[in-house]
Amino acid sequence: MNYPKVLTIQDISCVGQCSLTAALPILSAAGAETCILPSAVLSTHTGGFTGFTFRDLTEDMPAIAAHWKKEGIAFDAVYTGYLGSIRQIGIVQEIFAELRRPDAKTFVDPAMADNGVLYSIFDMPYVNAMKPLFFGADVVLPNLTEACLLTDMPYRETYDEAYITEILDRMEAAGAKTIILTGITYKPETTGVIVVEDGKRRYYEHKRIERGCHGTGDVYASAFVGAYLRGMNAFESAKLAADFTVRSIENTLGDESHWYGVKFETALPMLIEALAKQEL
């Protein structure tokens, strides 16, 4: 039985359906043993709430990892999302090196920007510090804004295939292996994901829902990692994660009071059903 043990490192936003409160249930639903290393605890996420609390857990992280090492705990996969500080990026690199099982895979969602802007706590030194972690990972999941920041390309709202090709070329030249580039829109009514896998580039185009939603990047990345660890290839995992995310957004439409996240829980049965067709 394939029962991967995954470690996911990201913040706990107590309210907001993102980062660990999305990754943990989604990875569990995908059949993975899910261990967590919280990078920070916030009362809410930072996208639209004001006055949120922020407890940086950088100081705790090396001690937690050292305890695991002493106990002989190691992981089949490490998946990182929103990190709270530049120092944490270095700590995460040490964890990658020390706590992975021999064939372990690393997944990095840079989780630092969207729609052309950095999230409120980040700056360019953070972007530069992210580069070695990002380009050294087995699988990376940037959105277009993050891909531009990490390749020193200007962010554009409208573009053609040549622009995206340049970004992908730069990512590959910098060392990226499997790339899942999300939110690539060539036509107003659709969006899609580009998957670079074994040197091949493929595009999965799907329905675009006008309403922008917080947390969809985390929901997407978690579903992708869950499917990939279940044995699906990158392209099939990217498709399933896209369908799951679209369903989550659709299930949230019409409820204006739910502006801060997507109701991904209501789409979990669909994810589980799709994954059930895979060999365990």
Would you tell me which residues interact with ligand PXL (CB under 6 A)? 11, 13, 18-19, 42, 45-47, 82, 111, 119, 215, 217-218
**DSSP code per residue over 29-95:** HTT-EEEEEEEEEEEE-SSS--S--EEE-TTHHHHHHHHHHHTT--EEEEEE---SSHHHHHHHHHH
- Strands 100-108 and 113-114, how do they pair? unpaired
Backbone φ/ψ region at 180: left (φ over 0), alpha (ψ -120 to 50), beta: beta
Distance of alpha carbon 217 from alpha carbon 241, whole angstroms: 10
| Nearest to ligand PXL of 74, 86 (CB atom) | 86
Shorter beta-carbon distance to ligand PXL: residue 42 or 168: 42
> Which is closer to ligand PXL, CB of 42 or CB of 171?
42
Nearer to ligand PXL, 92 or 111 (CB): 111
Question: Distance of alpha carbon 84 from its chain centroid, rounded?
Answer: 15
Instruction: Kindly tell me which of 68 and 122 has the beta carbon lying closer to ligand PXL.
Output: 122
Tokens of 140: 């990376």
SS3 203: strand
Nearest partner of 191 among 162, 167, 216, judged by Cα: 216
Nearer to ligand PXL, 84 or 192 (CB): 84
User: Closest distance between ligand PXL and the C-beta of residue 133, in Å?
Assistant: 16
Query: Nearest approach, Cβ of 110 to ligand PXL (angstroms)?
Result: 10
- The Cα-based distances of 252 to 77, 123, 214, 255, 263 in angstroms read 31, 31, 11, 6, 6
- Least distance from C-beta 151 to ligand PXL, angstroms? 20
